[in-house]
Structure 1
Amino acid sequence: MTESKPIVVFANFLSDLAVDLNEGQILTQWAQQAPRKAWLLRPGDVLVTPVPLSGEFLRYVYGLTRVPPESVTVVAVPPAGAVPLARAVREAGLVEHVRALAGDRGAALLPTALDASAIAFARDVGLTVHPYPTIEAAEAALKMTMLLNTKTGFREAAEQLGMRLPPGRVCPRPQAEGVARALLREYERVVVKPDRSAGGHGMSFVSRDDIRGGAALPLDTVGGPDGMWVVEECLDVAESVSIQMEVTTSGTHALFSGAMRTAHGSFTGYTSPLPPSYAHVADELEQWGTALGRHLADHGYAGPFGLDALVDVDGVAHASESNVRRTATTTPHTMVTRLTAGSANTQPAWSVSKGWTRDPMHFEGALARLHASRLAFDPERAEGVVLYADAPSDGRSWRYAVIARSAGDVEEQEAALAEVFAFEGG
């Protein structure tokens, strides 16, 4: 992000870019991660968030980022249901407040998701959309952005760009069961994916055993009866990996890569860099990402995007989807880069994950445990545990990041944290 003009960080997790808005429950759940956007704030910036941030968490963030609290503003938007954040701001009567905060300083909107409502809001408030030079440029990128956040749009583009894909077919939702049954004659298991979903939401895994005796397939109902779906062979996966890229005026650049932690196909965490046993796929991931970045740039897109892949038990990578937006790892990576800048920890290893404590804790109590155990992030060493997403509403499901000098050190600190916080299963 540019430091020459202020940014209005727009945490629009409630967006139709990644998931249909009728999936209100999962969108509301994802919106609980909005506090992590505080790590992006610099003097003069504004954060517009769908959930409030605690004073303890903000003091913690400002202390580590050395941002004067009085130099930034956090605007918490009252709940308005499963509607885009821009609509919630309007319904709360906060548009003029945001406009006044942005002022006439040439501020730009930094949305989590580039969608039509965010662009319309930027126009209403008199902002550009970061990193686009004009509102019109952002609008021109919207069609491709929406398309490449669908499973079918990605699959078509990936085939054109020469990426290796799991065998599969695209079909309308009413045909998904028939296509799945046909593919199960060739493969032991298949995965059925709704066109617009993220984080594994809505995917169904089906085996030949599921259709014995003529039983109906247990397919998810995400997205309703219409729209396109993808049915693919369910590979024997050894690791889920991703590379995060950025399209700029000077080209497409790799930012970082790593391994995803998943449970039943759903994203639960991330470690970077790639483990040595999967480092051999890094070059291919970057080649695919660079090709996709050129394709996006040709259609007007600028900014970050992620490319996910599955590495099978033979060590072969298969592209699985693209996330043309700020992903669950984009802001944590920015945080890690920021907290280690100027330190001896020039190439930090890091992870983000989630653990459940047996008993609820407040933010200050959790932070006190980190300090007492010497696990808390130490700015001098540029290592340690960061509570990067505020206290969870249940007091138990804590999101955290670990920053260290090596992957082995990350593992050691995570194990120690599991003991100190008494994580379930830890």
Structure 2
Amino acid sequence: MTTEHEGPGTLVILANFVSPLAVDLAEETVLRQWAEQAPRKLWLTRPGDVLITPTSLSESFRRYVFPRLGVPEDSVDIVTVPDTPHLPMAKALAEHHLLEPLRALVDSRPTARLLPTALDEAAAALASDLRIPVVPYETGVPGPGTLRAVAALNTKSGFRAVAQTLGLRLPQGRTCTGAELQQVASALLACHEQVVLKKDRSAGGHGLHFVSRGDLPPHSPPPPPDSRWVVEEYVEHTRAVSAQGHVSADRVEVAYDGEMRMSGGSFAGYRSPLQDLPEKTREELTQWTLALGSHLAAEGYRGPYSLDAVSTQDGTLHALECNVRRTATTAAHAMVTRLTGYGRSAWSTGTATATVPKSFDEAVNHLAEAGLDFHLGDSEGVLLYADRPLDGRSWRYAALARTHHRLTELEVRLAAALGHGEV
């Protein structure tokens, strides 16, 4: 199995949530929301590492994370890049005169390697500029062809094109422009009760619109005529599932799988490993994930990727999209495996809502009083893995336990500890 910190040397961890790989850089609001999750990357650090983050990390959060990792706080350098609209984070470093200080940090670490959240062109250019390799590329930095393939597969249309060649079962759908959107949606609604309108480059549920018969016009105001969309039938399903693959120089593997928690079509959490899914369905998800990984390997890609799908009541699987980057579950999985070891834990992520705003230290105290606070060496517990939320109420957490049943008990106790009825 692979980890986020495999191989020798130190890491320059680039939390480039502000990247054109997942959404257009003009989508400032959603990019800021995603950037709020950057503190979770602190869980990947080891002594000597550098973390480049778009949001500052509170003293309380740092005091919380480092002892649980067994890492001295002063052994990790943190570089904060101010919010820079319309610029990928890797380019924003130069805009704020942070490139030369970063170069000095890298020059003092001869074995440093870059670990970007999103493998976009700006991140690859930064690695070349710093003269360090990108994890886990054997030859240093991925070539232009690989970067183009990664960018294409992070679109809905690019995924559908590749999935069809690989024989993956897809919802019926079509790619179209904004000018064609209403006509294409109307045609599909003649055959299906409900369809999903998807911005071609979107992620995490952002940019999805669910439209039923009689709801036309499907999009108001109309989108730009030259914008790109995918319209698909809505597949009635009982489970939303995902598998995380990894491509290395010599093999493709499935690192883990799980069930996605969804809210209004948006990703709201994860529970791993998969359970109570027909074995044939789970095996098909594995085979599809490996097939996608083999395609990526042929394109020169190395690293993590995920395949998202839904399962109908009879166990029929439909592939929806892939994410060729480090996703919302990657850091959590790396954290869990680092703290507990492979194959020993069930784990989940989600958001627990407190009845009143709390400081970070207050939230931790509530966990401690409830017997939930996880420390290095524990076999189960709850971790607050993304610093204090802006509202002080919506706490992102990861729960670890030996069984799914025990995991459910921990989540119920977490909700009670924060003074709320559910997570």
TM norm. shorter chain > 0.5: yes
- Matched residue, 2:417: 420
Counterpart-to-counterpart distance in 2, 1:243 and 1:270: 11
Unmatched segments (≥5 aa) in structure 1 = none
Correspondent of 1:196 among 186, 201, 209: 201
Is 1:204–1:220's contact at 8 Å kept on the other side of the alignment?
Answer: no
Q: How does 1:3-402 map to 2 (within 5 A)?
A: 3-103=7-107, 104-211=109-216, 216-218=217-219, 224-341=224-341, 346-402=343-399
Counting matched residue pairs gives: 418
Is 1:376–1:386's contact at 8 Å kept on the other side of the alignment?
Answer: yes
1:71-108 CA deviation, whole Å, 9 max, x = no partner?
A: 21111112223421122211221111111111251311
Is 1:119–1:139's contact at 8 Å kept on the other side of the alignment?
Answer: no
Unmatched segments (≥5 aa) in structure 2 = none
1:122 shift after superposition: 1.5
Counterpart-to-counterpart distance in 2, 1:209 and 1:275: 38
Is 1:353–1:400's contact at 8 Å kept on the other side of the alignment?
Answer: yes
Q: Counterpart of 1:128 in 2: which secondary structure?
A: coil
Is 1:190–1:233's contact at 8 Å kept on the other side of the alignment?
Answer: yes
2:420 maps to a residue whose letter is: F
1:395 maps to a residue whose letter is: G
Q: Counterpart of 1:98 in 2: which secondary structure?
A: helix
1:136 shift after superposition: 4.6
Return closer, same or farther for 1:320/1:386 CA change in 2, 3 Å cut-off.
same
Counterpart-to-counterpart distance in 1, 2:356 and 2:237: 35
TM-score by length of 1: 0.94
TM-score by length of 2: 0.95
Is 2:352–2:414's contact at 8 Å kept on the other side of the alignment?
Answer: no
1:219 shift after superposition: 5.6
Return closer, same or farther for 1:136/1:365 CA change in 2, 3 Å cut-off.
closer
Is 1:168–1:233's contact at 8 Å kept on the other side of the alignment?
Answer: yes
Counterpart-to-counterpart distance in 1, 2:292 and 2:110: 34
1:340-399 CA deviation, whole Å, 9 max, x = no partner?
A: 03xxx8421010001221211111111111111101114333210000111112211110
Counterpart-to-counterpart distance in 2, 1:181 and 1:92: 48
1:25 maps to a residue whose letter is: T
1:141 shift after superposition: 1.5
1:407 maps to a residue whose letter is: H
Return closer, same or farther for 1:209/1:277 CA change in 2, 3 Å cut-off.
same
Counterpart-to-counterpart distance in 2, 1:93 and 1:56: 28
RMSD value over aligned CA atoms?
Answer: 1.6
* Stretch moving more, 173-182 or 274-283: 274-283
Identity of aligned residues (%): 47
* Stretch moving more, 27-36 or 85-94: 85-94
Return closer, same or farther for 1:45/1:156 CA change in 2, 3 Å cut-off.
same
Is 1:192–1:219's contact at 8 Å kept on the other side of the alignment?
Answer: no
Counterpart-to-counterpart distance in 2, 1:219 and 1:150: 22
1:132 maps to a residue whose letter is: Y
Q: Counterpart of 1:237 in 2: which secondary structure?
A: coil
Structure 1 segments of 4+ aligned residues over 4 angstroms from their partners:
219-222
Counterpart-to-counterpart distance in 1, 2:413 and 2:375: 16
Counterpart-to-counterpart distance in 1, 2:54 and 2:129: 19
